[in-house]
Amino acid sequence: MKTPVYRGAILEESLEDRAALRFVREVSPPGGGGSGTLIVEGTRADIGALATYLKLSGGYAQFWCGPRSLVAFRGRVFELDLRVRRGWDEAVRHAALVGVPREWIAAPV
Residue 1 lies in a domain: no
Inter-residue contact 21 to 54 (CB < 8 Å): no
pLDDT at position 20 is 92
Comparing 24 with 105, which gets the higher pLDDT?
24
Encode pLDDT of 17-65 as tens digits.
Answer: 989 999 999 997 655 555 688 999 999 999 999 999 999 999 999 999 9
Helix (H, G, I), strand (E, B) or coil at 88: helix
Strand partners, 11: 37
Tell me the pairing of strands 61-65 and 76-81.
unpaired
- Mean pLDDT confidence for 79-102: 88
Residue 33 lies in a domain: yes
pTM value is: 0.86
What residues have CB less than 8 Å from 109, skipping those under 6 apart? 62, 64, 69
pLDDT at position 106 is 61
pLDDT at position 29 is 65
What is the total count of domains within the chain?
1
pLDDT at position 62 is 94
pLDDT at position 109 is 47
Host domain of residue 10: 6-106
